[in-house]
Amino acid sequence: RLPLQDVYKIGGIGTVPVGRVETGVLKPGMVVTFAPVNVTTEVKSVEMHHEALSEALPGDNVGFNVKNVSVKDVRRGNVAGDSKNDPPMEAAGFTAQVIILNHPGQISAGYAPVLDCH
């Protein structure tokens, strides 16, 4: 899984999503699916700090070139994952137990926090 931090269009190369590998690996030739937009494509190349990688591991901040995907098709916040092994997908809902450790001010009815769930 790799949540996208940004997506760039690079002249002569194409669409390059960037993000941090959270789980699993990312390799050239892999077929990935972006959720929740349900776009599937092949990874052409993977780079970290302008150096080509044969495999990106958890914790690596990488950019990867994808085939036939426009910069308009995917965006920051989408999650990329292996399309053949438990691909990421949108959830209709979920239940969570949340513990707030530190919060400035008071929380009351109508409070609308932002929750990132990957």
CATH code (residue 39): 2.40.30.10
Does a structural domain hold residue 60? yes
Does a structural domain hold residue 33? yes
Does a structural domain hold residue 28? yes
Does a structural domain hold residue 69? yes
Does a structural domain hold residue 52? yes
Is the pLDDT at 116 greater than 80? The verdict is: no
Structural domains counted in the chain: 1
Does a structural domain hold residue 59? yes
For 11, the domain range is 2-82
Does a structural domain hold residue 32? yes
**pLDDT, tens digit, 9 for 90 and up, residues 34-77:** 999 999 999 999 999 999 999 999 999 999 999 999 999 999 99
Does a structural domain hold residue 50? yes
* Token pair for 45: 């190349």
8 Å CB contact between 37 and 10: no
Q: How far apart are CA 83 and CA 64, in angstroms?
A: 16
Is the pLDDT at 111 greater than 90? The verdict is: no
User: How confident is the model at residue 118, as a pLDDT?
Assistant: 62
8 Å CB contact between 66 and 32: yes
Q: Please enumerate in sequence order all residues whose Cβ is within 8 A of that of 27, keeping only pairs 6 or more positions apart, or say none.
A: 43, 46, 54, 55, 56
pTM: 0.82
* Between 20 and 110, residue with greater pLDDT: 20
The overall average pLDDT reported for the chain is: 94
CA distances from 8 to 5, 62, 64, 93 (A): 10, 12, 10, 30
